[in-house]
Amino acid sequence: MVQLNADTAYRYEMAAAQGAADALFQLGLMYSTGHGVAEDYVLAHKWFNLAALRGNADAREFRGQIAGDMTQAKIAKAQRLAREWMQATGALAH
């Protein structure tokens, strides 16, 4: 079993920057559950949103589930963070 921690999150982020949908989804799981990182629904929504944009159907479902526990302001923040990440990395451009 993989030990989830901040180093794992970093490795997933590097893979995500290369457009790996599975890495985007795994980051969403980590932040939504607090496994290896502090639980943060804003960041989880961000990563699930990015994974969903890469075609991950599970990410769409999980994003919808956590959105039910978030304020509109937090959802807007997560969406802004996703846009900023896409612009900074260009990861979803290909």
And the tokens for 85?
């990440």
pLDDT grade, residue 85 (50/70/90)?
very high
Sequence length of the chain is 94
Which pLDDT tens digit goes with each residue over 29-78?
999 999 989 999 999 999 999 999 999 999 999 999 999 999 999 999 99
User: What pLDDT shows up at residue 32?
Assistant: 97
Domain ranges across the chain: 6-88
Model-level pTM? 0.88
User: What pLDDT shows up at residue 13?
Assistant: 86
CA atoms of 57 and 23, how far apart (whole Å): 14
